[in-house]
Amino acid sequence: MKSIVTISELQNIEAVAMKYIVQNLGCNIRPLKALSEKDGSLRVPLQAIVPRQVTKRDHETKVFIYNLEDIGSLHYRKTENKFNLISSITAKDIEIEISNRFKILTESIEKEILIEGKANWGKLSWIKTFLSPLYTIVINLASTSKPISIDSLRTADIWKYAKLLINEHYAQIDSERPNQIIPTNKLTMASEEYYKSNKHIHNLAEEIVGGVFANNYFEIKKEFHINSPTAYVDTTKVYYIDALRYGENIPIHEKNLFYEYLKIGDRSFRSEVNLMQFRTLLSELEFVKLLEKQGSYVSGNPKFFKNLMVYRDNILEGSVQAPKGVTF
Amino acid sequence: MGKTKSLPFKWSDFFVPSDTECLLACFAMSARYWAEFFPELKLAKDLDVWKEFANRSFVSYRGTYIKEFLRKIPKSNEVIEVNSEIKTNNLEEPTSQVVEFSELAIKTNTLEDLNSLVPFFRTKIIIPQIIFFNQLLMTHNINGPNHAVLLHSIDFEKEKLYVIDSTKHQMQEPDVYDFHQFKRAWRDAYNLQIITYPKDMITLVSGPNVGITKQLYLNQFTEKSK
């Protein structure tokens, strides 16, 4: 026995695109009015409507809705009464594009965070692990003042780290023996200061590496392909971005920050176990006073937050605040 | 036209709350609904498993999409990866597809108007319909993201639409929308409707195009149905 359900469907191209979107791209994506291309095909530009919600400890919530235009397209060719899809952006590429749009809005904050943490980045465990050649070179040059052969650095595949120290004026190529590097006056004076104040040479190395990390962050990330230490910067960033969006140095639950953190980079953290790793990151950032913690809630360093408030307008560009009571 | 029949929705058994993943919650509620009529469907029986499914975060800015969550359908009392291939049948055109996984098929439609929702209430077992609309446009006149709800019934005389909203945990009864407000918000999502149905028990084939009207022939439910 059969029954017939007769339905009437919209047959315009945007409606066809809408069906494709909800199946393949994501329900925050919307088709805009199709445009005719020179080759006779039709391009449907896509818009992302992305809500960003910040909830503080008392559950008071503010929602900001970002309207991101032209984040990709669907291309169709019309044949008889059908629209044939000829090319489409992928869900992954849309995610990258949206992520890049948010990165542009938060670039200035990232720079400020890097500067603020300069003296402390070098104390953090993943930076110590992944940038260990920097520590080794600094400690050798500062404690012994002996030259280091460039060939030995090349053999150990750490010459690129030495070059960072040269760029930062902590090391220089010996003018008499150009196959070796020696400490600069800047490094020698800094190490003398440390000895005088009875501080350990490792503390000097931490401070120098922190500065090198802050000043060469993008190079370390993109050219050295060292990504793990970026977790500290991104974690700090997700807190301050949310707090700035809200407009106050508010306590935010670590779980909310964790999900935001996952979105801003291609992260391997995907489980509760990794939420534990995230907690460790937060504790380290608390130790160096970039963030503060109270139980499961994270807040910012008040002085630093105040300095960052001037960037609030950058973050909110292209967004509308939803009326009170709206949540997602 | 009067009032349609109501979706026989058992709140205590079918309702799946979710604060953030409304599409997943609607799908979960539809699946629970079909499992009531067809217990042989290999879907998870435990409501808590569906709650977990509807509240898992896919962690993205773009929002989730159907083919993404189909692989995580709760089956056999636990959330597992469904290994079966997701099939797409080209029906009318490449973008109007039926997506299937091992138990349920999903069809997306962009309907002409509210009247087009009615036939799904007239089948022997009412077919659950997920409808998509711009909720903030409806409630606050602001362009916002899409929201999905499960359609409960329509009253054409009172011009009211009754829906099951996964974000309204405490209600235990349908939320009510005015036609006037809803139509604009639904139109903003191109009148998108998603139906789910047990693929082995209903065969969906494309009918002839009659202008903008298409006919979907649904095999009526077999004697397996209650």
pLDDT for B117-167, tens place per residue?
Answer: 998 898 878 999 999 999 999 999 999 999 999 999 999 999 999 999 999
Q: Is B96 within 8 Å of A16 when comparing Cβ atoms? A: yes
| Closest Cβ–Cβ partner in B60, B136, B220 for A26 | B60
Q: Which two tokens stand for residue A4?
A: 């017939």
CATH number at residue A134: 1.10.10
Domain extent at residue A144: 125-222
Mean pLDDT of B81-105: 45
What does pTM read for this prediction?
0.83
Residues A88-117: tens digit of each pLDDT: 999 999 999 999 999 899 999 999 999 999
CA distance A322 to A319: 9
Average pLDDT score over chain B = 79
d(CA A270, CA A254): 15
DSSP letter, residue B127 = P
Q: Classify residue A81: in a domain, yes or no.
A: yes
d(CA A167, CA A278): 33
Of A1-5, A34-38, B90-94, which gets the smallest average pLDDT?
Answer: B90-94
Q: How many CB atoms are located within 10 Å of the residue B171 CB?
A: 12
| Residues in chain A closer than 8 A to B119 (CB atoms) | 5-7
Same domain assignment for residues A135 and A192: yes
Q: How far is B147 from chain A (nearest CA, A)?
A: 8
Helix (H) or strand (E) holding B25: helix B22-37
How far from the centroid of its chain's Cα atoms is residue A114's Cα?
11
Question: pLDDT tens digit string along B161-180?
Answer: 999 999 998 888 999 999 99
Q: Does B224 touch chain A (CB under 8 A)?
A: no
State yes or no: pLDDT of A161 exceeds 60.
yes
* A87, A172: one domain: no
ipTM associated with this complex: 0.85
Nearest by CB to residue A15, choosing from B61, B64, B190, is: B190
Alpha helices per DSSP H over chain A: 13-24, 91-116, 125-130, 132-144, 150-155, 159-167, 185-196, 201-215, 217-222, 230-246, 254-263, 272-287, 302-308, 312-316
Distance of CA A181 to the CA centre of its chain: 34
Q: How many CB pairs below 8 A link A and B?
A: 183
**Spans of all domains in chain B:** 11-218
Residue A42's nearest CA partner among A10, A9, A80, A73 is A73
Q: Which residue of A has its CA nearest to B69?
A: A23
C-alpha B145: how far from chain center: 18
Q: How many domains does chain A have?
A: 2
Sign of CA dihedral A241, A247, A250, A255: negative
Contact criterion met (CB below 8 Å) for B101 and B86: yes
C-alpha to C-alpha distances, B203 to A23, A82, A84, B73, B99, nearest whole angstrom:
20, 23, 25, 21, 13
> Chain A contact for B39, CB < 8 A?
no
- pLDDT tens by residue, B202-222: 555 444 443 334 555 555 443
Residues A81 and A129 in one domain: no
Same domain, A211 and A135: yes
- C-alpha count within 13 angstroms, C-beta hemisphere, residue B3: 10
Question: B110, A27: Cβ pair inside 8 Å?
Answer: no
Domain annotation covers residue A136:
yes
Q: Which residues in chain B are closer than 8 Å to A94, comparing Cβ atoms? A: 62
Q: Which of B73, B95, B10, B127 is nearest to A7 (CA)?
A: B127
Identify which of A7, A22, A49 has the shortest CB distance to residue B214: A7
Q: Which amino acid is at A260?
A: E
- Is residue B76 predicted with pLDDT exceeding 90? no
Which residue, B54, B43, B22, is CA-closest to B104?
Answer: B43
CB A224: neighbour CB atoms within 10 A?
14
Question: What is the pLDDT confidence band of residue A79, given thresholds at 50, 70 and 90?
Answer: confident
Q: Hey, are the CB atoms on A26 and B65 less than 8 Å from each other?
A: yes
Decide if B213 and A8 are in contact by the 8 Å CB cutoff: yes
For residue B63, pLDDT over 50 is answered with: yes
- Assign B200 a pLDDT band (cuts: 50, 70, 90): low
Residue A221 in tokens: 């990330």
Dihedral (CA of B82, B85, B90, B94) sign: positive
* Contacting residues for A253 by C-beta, under 8 A, at least 6 apart: A55, A57, A296, A297, A298
B92: chain A residues, CB-CB within 8 Å = 82
Contact A28 B143 (CB under 8 A): no
